[in-house]
Amino acid sequence: MTKERIGFISTRFSGTDGVSLEAAKWAKVMEEDGHDIFWYAGRINRPKEISMCVPEAHFEHPEITWINKRIWGSTKRSKFVTDRIRNLSYYLKDTLHQFIEKYDITLIVLENAVTIPMNLPLGVALAEFLLEIDIPAIAHHHDFYWERSRFSVNAVNDYLEMAFPPKDPELYHTVINKNAADDLAWRKGCSSTLVPNVIDFKEDDPNIHVDAAEMKRELGFEEDDIIFLQPTRVVPRKGIEHAIQLISMLGNDKIKLCISHDSGDEGYDYESMLREMAARENVDMRFVNARVSEERKTSPTGEKIYSLWDVYAIADLVTYTSLYEGFGNAFLEAIYHRKPLLVNRYDIFMRDIEPKGFQTITIDGYVTNYTVNQVQKLLDDKELQKKMTDTNYDLGKKYYSYEVLRHKLRLVLSSIRGEVYHD
């Protein structure tokens, strides 16, 4: 297989968001196969010698924030807004050319940058950039703009049609679920390869070196507290109100709802609603994102900062109550850490994941007394928990491991280069 110098491009490669995490997994597998990896983004935590940080590429840059306020929720834009989009896209395109020249890039991976218009000028720049270079590219699509209602009313349909994603003959599309493949074919006439999200399954316990009792104390919990972990961002599509309702109906004041992430990029109204609901329902809900990061470290004030994976060590049940997910990283993390799951049967779960035989407690958009009884039975029966989590671990290893990803990526790269791949 041809050795490549691969340039990953996105708005950010930093933090615990799904795009950053999955990009890192792709990069690790590609590096193990002998390829060299380089990074371009507006916010980035990779080594400086292999990365290029362009602040305007991030969706929270002031210029992008200014543009976003004027293009979403309206059907008209001023000439001034158009000029700002074009000027910034020209600048970003120049930096993209500098990136491939600096690192002698031979293959590009676009991580959601031409999928969802968090940074519209970057997507426009990439659409033109791809036409100006003689380098193949892979678009790794996580969630398309048409899957988000906040982008449905807009003043930039011309740019969305042009760049999200572009119809470039040298652009190889990969998606993370079957619905996305169908939609991409129907809306854009583009074929794609399904490459699911994965996790690096290991034989040993990932939390073998984590002192769960100490972590509970550090995070303010009591030793006998029962922890329901919500390992997601605090945004409306995560359906966290269902977890609050479940705990309220269980009626056990030792059950605490632990939320690992912050409110992300969609404002704080939803978080405020959840706090009001939890107070009304007498549910003890804790936001621990200030003590959770990508990796273990110590804060400037001397507090222990835990990794997201560490937090799974204290979980008695993972609540995955999303209304919609592109795939479901937290689902994979929970089965990897051998934790029982309650899942709201979102569309992708029903079509892509559930048929494989995973054992979970499920709801269909609402919590019932039957759900409450199932959860209580699970909490009371350690043998049932073990049977469920062992089964899920084995299935996860079979369908969503790094070995699956390596096979998929080798097929994609071989297809791009016209090579024959032998597994």
153 C-beta neighbours (distance < 10 Å), count: 10
Give me the pLDDT at residue 113, please.
97
Q: Which domains, and CATH codes, for the chain?
A: 5-198+402-417 (3.40.50.2000), 212-399 (3.40.50.2000)
Tell me the average confidence (pLDDT) per consecutive run of 10 residues in the chain, 423 residues long.
92 87 95 97 95 97 97 96 98 98 97 97 98 96 92 96 93 95 94 94 70 88 94 90 97 95 76 95 92 82 85 94 87 94 94 95 96 97 96 95 95 86 64
With both helix axes pointing from N to C terminus, report the angle between 79-103 and 120-132 in degrees, rounded to the nearest 10: 50
Contact present, 416 and 138 (Cβ < 8 Å): yes
Give me the pLDDT at residue 264, please.
63
Prior bond to 355 cis, omega within 30? no
* 164-to-64, 81, 115, 126 alpha-carbon distances in Å: 17, 19, 5, 10
Token pair 């032998």: residue: 422
Give me the pLDDT at residue 306, please.
86
CA 187, CA 284: separation in Å to the nearest integer? 45
Contact present, 21 and 45 (Cβ < 8 Å): no
What tokens were used for 278? 């939890």
CA 291, CA 25: separation in Å to the nearest integer? 24
Residue type, position 421, single letter: Y
Residue type, position 291, single letter: R
Closest CA to 117 of 143, 94, 139: 143
Is 132 strand, coil or helix? helix
Is 159 strand, coil or helix? helix
Give me the pLDDT at residue 351, please.
93
